[in-house]
Amino acid sequence: MVVLINEGSASGAEIVAGALKDLRRAVLVGETTFGKGSVQNVMQLPDGSAVRFTTAKYYTPSKTVIQGNGVVPNILVPLSSEQGRAVAALRNNDKIQPAEANGILKSKDLQMMRGIDALKGVMIYAQHEVIKDLVAARLAKGGGVIFEAQQVCVERIEGERPAIRFMKDGVSQKLECDFIAGCDGFHGICRDAIPQGVLKTYDRDYPFGWLGILAEAPPASQELIYANHERGFALLSMRSPKISRLYLQCKPDEDLKEWPDARIWEELHKRFATDDGFSLTEGLVIQKGVTGMRSFVVEPMQYGRMFLAGDSAHIVPPTGAKGLNLAVADVCVLAAGLKEFYAGGNRDLLGRYSEICLRRVWKVQRFSWWMTSLFHRFATDSEFDRRRQLAELDYVTSSRAAATTLAENYVGLPFE
């Protein structure tokens, strides 16, 4: 849902808009609202005068005060006074005066257009925000979360009562379970706890990496930009309205000492150069690192009463942006299986966990490999390969069928 707001949105409209935004039920588009979120009463005095005083203030679900502050939109689309008058007339076309009709009808409702774009697109949900929301949801349900556990190991995963042993605050503890979800990443302990010979590994290392920076610079675009340049791949993404994340294709063993900030910005400008005058916004580099590119899958994704999910079972190159999406898909399948088990003891879905997940995993591996090969320069590529790559890009950007396929895979395949 998209809700349009502006400085004329006040009182009840602000309360509803703020609640929808905080509860992630709608995307707000437009301008910051008026800021009227108080309840006032009038007390008559004996001498005929009166006193007006505030008896209550409205807050959004996240405890943000509306009074005097207003509600800030997710997508800011400011309008000039003239544009505002034209938009108001367009939305109430029965009130347009004949003398001004020609100019108004040629105007564009930029806020409405941006709202429609938002409905066609997706909202970026940063991973650290996902983690915060998951922790908050767990605690709200009365569950526990144990951080900074040490010496963690799993036991008896083949039996009916697997267990997790760990040290917390110097005390050895044991957690007995019905099932264990191994969501502990590529370097975690769960996958290694499965006996040798059970798992089969499939992997591929790519001959390049990404040099990534986090910069205090407003993103030059609210949309992701993938660049295929003769000097190599580049990517611009939005971390927040004031922070940009940018990447450059580089050697997998690149020495960061050879990449001072000035050189990074110079290279980024070259790879993002366009004929229409687009330019990056530079800023202070606050983080810098090199990420290797790898594809990795283990089969099966379950053993006994332990289920591998996320990076403990599979890794995709980041070009397709599918790592978190794939992990969530694993957990959805596992959650459905656990629900069936606890509702009536049915283990059928749990028994098919690996089969269902791997079908999706390999489709996502295919897409991530395709995206990587579409945008990156390989040292072994011939001129034929380069021409083929450009033809593929031309096809994707000119064919509705090809664009639809890319969009379906990029947003995420339907959950089973």
More confident of the two residues 103 and 57: 57
Q: Using H for helix, E for strand and C for coil, what is the string for the chain?
A: CEEEECCCCCCHHHHHHHHHHHCCCCEEEECCCCCCCEEEEEEECCCCCEEEEEEEECECCCCCECCCCCCCCCEECCCCHHHHHHHHHHHCHHHCCHHHHHHHHCCCCHHHHHHHHHHHCCCCCCHHHHHHHHHHHHHHCCCCCCCCCEEEEEECCCCCCCEEEEEECCEEEEEECCCEEECCCCCCCCHHHCCCCCCEEEEEEEEEEEEEEEEECCCCCCCCEEEEECCEEEEEEEEECCEEEEEEEECCCCCHHHCCHHHHHHHHHHHCCCCCCCCCCCCEEEEEEEEEEEEEEEECCEECCEEECHHHCEECCHHHCCHHHHHHHHHHHHHHHHHHHHHHCCCHHHHCHHHHHHHHHHHHHHHHHHHHHHHCCCCCCCHHHHHHHHHHHHHHHHCHHHHHHHHHHHHCCCCC
Domain shared by 275 and 372, yes or no: no
| Average pLDDT value over all residues in the chain | 90
Model pTM? 0.72
Model confidence over 269-285: pLDDT tens digits? 999 999 887 889 999 99
Domain shared by 114 and 22, yes or no: yes
- Residue 229's Cβ-count burial label (10 Å; 0-12, 13-18, 19+) is middle
CATH of the domain at 398: 3.50.50.60
Domain shared by 271 and 254, yes or no: yes
Is the pLDDT at 96 greater than 60? The verdict is no
Contact, 347 vs 341, CB < 8 A? yes
Out of 99-113, 142-156, 168-182, 269-283, least confident range: 99-113
**Residue 28 falls inside a structural domain:** yes
**Residue 64 falls inside a structural domain:** yes
Out of 186-195, 214-223, 259-268, least confident range: 214-223
Domain shared by 316 and 416, yes or no: yes
Number of domains comprising the chain: 3
* Banded model confidence at residue 98, pLDDT cuts 50, 70, 90: low
* Banded model confidence at residue 262, pLDDT cuts 50, 70, 90: very high
Domain shared by 322 and 410, yes or no: yes
Domain shared by 269 and 283, yes or no: yes
Is the pLDDT at 316 greater than 90? The verdict is yes
Is the pLDDT at 41 greater than 80? The verdict is yes
Is the pLDDT at 104 greater than 60? The verdict is no
CATH of the domain at 21: 3.90.226.10
Look at the chain and count its residues. Answer: 416
Domain shared by 77 and 106, yes or no: yes
Domain shared by 110 and 26, yes or no: yes
Q: Of 257, 272, 294, which residue constitutes the final position of a domain?
A: 294
Domain shared by 13 and 74, yes or no: yes
Q: Of 294, 328, 351, which residue constitutes the final position of a domain?
A: 294
CATH of the domain at 264: 3.30.9.10
Model confidence over 371-384: pLDDT tens digits? 999 999 999 999 99
**Residue 145 falls inside a structural domain:** no
Domain shared by 347 and 383, yes or no: yes
- 147: Cβ contacts below 8 Å, ≥ 6 apart: none
Domain shared by 280 and 352, yes or no: no
**Residue 165 falls inside a structural domain:** no
More confident of the two residues 392 and 53: 392
Over residues 200-210, mean pLDDT: 96
Out of 89-93, 230-234, 249-253, 401-405, least confident range: 89-93
**How much is the pLDDT for 146?**
93
CA distance 206 to 369: 10
**Residue 416 falls inside a structural domain:** yes
98: its two tokens: 């004949």
Range of the domain at 274: 204-294
Over residues 205-214, mean pLDDT: 96
**How much is the pLDDT for 308?**
98
**How much is the pLDDT for 95?**
58
**Residue 146 falls inside a structural domain:** no
Contact, 24 vs 18, CB < 8 A? no
**How much is the pLDDT for 85?**
77
Q: Of 105, 120, 135, which residue constitutes the final position of a domain?
A: 120
pLDDT above 90 coverage of the chain, percent = 67
**Residue 138 falls inside a structural domain:** no
**Residue 385 falls inside a structural domain:** yes
- 177: Cβ contacts below 8 Å, ≥ 6 apart: 161, 162, 163, 164, 305
Domain shared by 381 and 321, yes or no: yes
**How much is the pLDDT for 133?**
87
